[in-house]
Amino acid sequence: MAKVRLLPDILAHKIAAGEVVERPASVLKELLENSLDSEARRIVVEAEEGGKRLIVVRDDGMGMSSEDARLAFQHHATSKIQSFEDLSHLQTLGFRGEALPSIASVSRLRLRTVERGSSTLLGSELESEGGELKEVKEIAWPTGTEVRVEDLFFNVPVRREFLKRTSTELGHLSRQVMNCAIAYPHVAFDFQHNGKSVVEATAVESLEDRIHQVFGKSFLENLVQVDYKKNGIALSGFVSLPHEQRTSSRSQFLYVNRRMVRDRMLTHAIRLAYQDLIPSNSYPAVILFLEVDPEQVDVNVHPCKTEIRFRHSNSVHQAIRHGIEEALLGERKSLSHLARDLPGSDLQAQSRAYSGHGMANNAATVFQRHSLQGNPLPTLGNSHPTLNGFVHENALPSYSPSGAQDVHGEDIPETDYLDPVPVVLGQFVESFVVSVDREGVLLVDQHVAHERILYDQALRQMESPRPCATQRLLIPLTQELNFHQRAICEQILDLLNANGFEVEWFGEQTLVIKGVPSFARECDAQLLIEGILDELTSQNQEEVDENDRMKRLRQKIAISLSCRAAIKINTPLSQEKMQWLLDELFRCDNPFTCPHGRPIVLRMGIEEVLRGFKRI
């Protein structure tokens, strides 16, 4: 008896659909691409429960005849190509003829369409369930197409169980709409979820207008334009100035011939262009469009069509890197004065930012000026030094250099650090505190050291059993959010208000800030909210319980606060202020890494020193 059997069509189609349809956002991506290929000028998207219950995409594109609409439900039926050679000249987003039948096989789907130019304005309505065509009838409908997808994976319960919470799936849906809205500024997009507007972008003339519309004015003001052409490769778009850093790559949008892609080679080129300008664990904001001959690109690599191959990948890599570098070089004057505010930048980055006057060339002079004064160490007692840019004991009341108590009067335990707090010798290049203890020489990064201090302080305040105190603002502030930030803020608004903030909505895209946690009253409230949303954008989307969500939110608030409030590099400090910094640092549970995982302390032990001088 034969062991190899031919699979039934329905089963084969369900299996094939798994390659194309991973989640509701996969459905939306395919439908949006079909609408854009049909030359639509307005696309309306409606979703319920993160797309798990309902996704509707309606456009004013070319539409289809009744005959074409029937064929569209057949596998491998497409108007995009007729031969394999056509793939070398592809000008459309879709081409396989797999999207609609794959979606239909795992959902209840209804298609309504009227072909552009139809004299009767009569069109077709087709309904299918699990891939089986149930009903076809003639209807009156405006020009264009509407696809309604209900109960995704209703017949594949295992796949449905793997879908995430509604807020997570909504985030993926929003991302797909934004991907298309950025690439096609001349097309209007309207996205509503559970009856509420999420994205509303009218058609505009330019990419610059679309960026302003989607991300806001402040985001656009920190971008520099890219315009580079060489060897048949054209690169255009915008990239961020080095000080406008992100904690994740979610603000990077890469397009090849107007197709959104994910490609390691392209992201590597971006990383190299910024390698000496931003910390290794930070990401620039990037919106780039690469135009190449379709014959030089293979888009038929993955069912999702987001992975591609280039025939001349080295040329593309160089174009990305050189295009960004030239754009940033044109902003050299801006970079020069902004470099002093770069938190956590490395020495090489600062060296370049000073237009050739590197730290290495004047390190000895700076060290001598700030380190070898021979001043006796001050007696700190209960006094606290005030540092420009510091949120010190007035804003963070539970820290004091000696005899410390928290805000509720409980003694703070001493650190497990066995040696006495290192003794300060001086400051190196106005960025690093040089100190010694019994084991050797320590170099302490003043920015990340203060970041650790503030992070621990903020967490202790928020995790206290007592309610987190709120400092009301004399004048409420308004914060305009982009579409993606609004989606995140909708999810965490109650959690923010439970952790010392007082915020509420004013209109569709504006947040009113009436109060901040008392320990953060010295911080810029708007930057603090923006930083929290940025941090939350980068977090993993796995399922977590409510307690874990609260814990993570508190951590993100603390990270955002500490990073923005911490003293910057290139800031001169007195001997007293440096000693205060070390006193507080070594009270922390973990004085050796910052909340982002960067090292705070570099140590050169006695043996290493002796070995360097050939004494052992």
Structural domains in the chain, sorted by start: 9-205 (3.30.565.10), 222-348 (3.30.230.10), 355-460+568-612 (3.30.1540.20), 469-565 (3.30.1370.100)
Tell which wins on pLDDT, 269 or 481. 269
Tell which wins on pLDDT, 388 or 614. 614
Across 56-82, average pLDDT? 80
**In the chain, pLDDT over 90 holds for what percent of residues?**
34
The type of residue at 383 is S
Across 468-483, average pLDDT? 86
Tell which wins on pLDDT, 412 or 243. 243
What pLDDT shows up at residue 216? Answer: 83
What pLDDT shows up at residue 7? Answer: 56
Give the least confident one: 34-43, 136-145, 250-259, 364-373. 364-373
**Cα 84–Cα 33–Cα 270 angle in degrees, nearest 5:** 90
User: 9 is written with which tokens?
Assistant: 């069509």
Across 269-287, average pLDDT? 87
pLDDT band at 31 (very low <50, low <70, confident <90, very high): very high
User: 350 is written with which tokens?
Assistant: 């600062």
Provide the 10 A C-beta neighbour count for residue 579. 22
3-state SS, residue 603: strand
Residues 6+ apart with CB under 8 A from 496: 503, 532, 553
Tell which wins on pLDDT, 106 or 335. 106
Give the least confident one: 49-58, 111-120, 165-174, 520-529. 520-529
pLDDT surpassing 80 at residue 332: no
Evaluated on CA atoms 175, 180, 181, 182, the torsion sign reads positive
What pLDDT shows up at residue 313? Answer: 85
How far CA 159 is from CA of 75, 151, 399, in Å, comes to 21, 12, 51
pLDDT surpassing 70 at residue 536: yes
Residues 6+ apart with CB under 8 A from 60: 40, 41, 42, 142, 143, 144
Distance between CA atoms of residues 34 and 106, nearest Å = 19
**In the chain, pLDDT over 70 holds for what percent of residues?**
75
**pTM, two decimal places:** 0.65
Tell which wins on pLDDT, 267 or 490. 267
pLDDT surpassing 90 at residue 413: no
Span 372-389, pLDDT tens digits: 333 333 332 333 443 333
C-beta of residue 243 within 8 angstroms of C-beta of residue 341: yes
Across 402-420, average pLDDT? 41
pLDDT surpassing 90 at residue 43: yes
Would you give the DSSP letter of residue 572? -
Span 488-521, pLDDT tens digits: 888 788 878 888 889 999 887 889 999 988 877 7
Give how far the C-alpha of residue 426 lies from the chain's centroid of Cα atoms, to the nearest Å. Answer: 38
Distance between CA atoms of residues 322 and 263, nearest Å = 18
Span 216-230, pLDDT tens digits: 888 898 899 999 999
End-to-end CA distance of the chain: 79
What pLDDT shows up at residue 263? Answer: 85
What pLDDT shows up at residue 509? Answer: 80
Q: Which helix (H) or strand (E) holds 175?
A: helix 166-183
Which span out of 45-49, 349-353, 420-424 was modeled with the highest average pLDDT? 45-49
pLDDT surpassing 70 at residue 19: no
pLDDT band at 95 (very low <50, low <70, confident <90, very high): low
Least Cα distance to 50 among 180, 186, 191 occurs for: 191
Tell which wins on pLDDT, 331 or 294. 294
What pLDDT shows up at residue 303? Answer: 56
What pLDDT shows up at residue 167? Answer: 82
Give the least confident one: 112-116, 292-296, 441-445. 292-296
132-140 β-sheet, strand order? 132-140, 122-129, 108-114, 144-150, 54-59, 42-48, 188-193, 196-201
pLDDT band at 523 (very low <50, low <70, confident <90, very high): confident
Span 543-571, pLDDT tens digits: 445 667 677 778 888 888 788 778 888 89
pLDDT band at 9 (very low <50, low <70, confident <90, very high): low
How far CA 29 is from CA of 179, 209, 308, in Å, comes to 9, 23, 17
What pLDDT shows up at residue 325? Answer: 93
Provide the 10 A C-beta neighbour count for residue 78. 17
Least Cα distance to 56 among 193, 198, 260, 181 occurs for: 193
